[in-house]
Structure 1
């Protein structure tokens, strides 16, 4: 039986704009590594369609790098995205990470679900922390995008 862990956050932005931050390279490169990690936009391959490839490189502050790969499994703008994601390219990426976006009175509810797989409790906690850092950067990006649009 699959056991997911879930992160849910409210974002003060329209659902279509939140979906764009998840699927457009120029936005994805801003939030995927968080503020502490560089994700060069030219390292991104984002063929956002079912069966399309995903690739990204994270350049860590200590000089190391992480090569990410995956595949888009489901793409239903602006409400749902499912993609596999692995930092071990070539290995089985496992079940997809699920992104669900619901309209709310104040913007969008973003829910991210990931299979716990063989993660320890500590690894789950660290992964949730990472997703929350991603979402913090998405929220900051959304604020900038909306501010630029209204200027």
Structure 2
């Protein structure tokens, strides 16, 4: 199995980007992209060391995907590491390692998922690209509030 690393710069301060990743109402707004709903009643997401998290994604066709994981490292507003899987009954988990770096007033986010399933790289790149587009829109709403 391989790893996947994506880097993207958002034109917002690191604290705002951190908040979008770690505050449940903002995470739910972008996780899965703009075509997916994350119902509040399915979301248990508090970015604290050792805490488990869960969320359901409801796809446009009504299909539910159950996500679970655990926060492994939390160093606000610089670094987040959590486990993640959409197979809650399986003991196997991928790790998401997310680093936030201030670059000229913007935030460079470097996210690594390790491991990724064999042959999944292209689909993950496309999916995370859509997630990050939706994250950027949520950041715009947060900044305007």
Fold similarity call, TM over 0.5? yes
Unaligned runs of 5+ in 2: none
Residues 80 and 100 in structure 1, CA contact (< 8 A), matched pair in contact too: yes
- Between the aligned partners of 1:47 and 1:70, the Cα distance in structure 2 is 11
- Between the aligned partners of 2:92 and 2:40, the Cα distance in structure 1 is 22
The equivalent residue for 1:113 is: 112
Unaligned runs of 5+ in 1: none
Shift of 1:119: 2.1
Residues 45 and 53 in structure 2, CA contact (< 8 A), matched pair in contact too: yes
Shift of 1:106: 3.3
DSSP 3-state at the match of 2:27: helix
Matched pairs, number: 145
The equivalent residue for 1:8 is: 7
DSSP 3-state at the match of 1:46: coil
- Between the aligned partners of 2:124 and 2:116, the Cα distance in structure 1 is 12
The equivalent residue for 2:140 is: 143
Q: TM-score, normalised by structure 1?
A: 0.90
Shift of 1:48: 1.4
- Between the aligned partners of 1:93 and 1:56, the Cα distance in structure 2 is 17
Instruction: Report the aligned-residue RMSD.
Output: 1.4
Shift of 1:145: 1.3
Displaced runs of 4+ in structure 1, greater than 3 A? Answer: none
More strand by share: 2
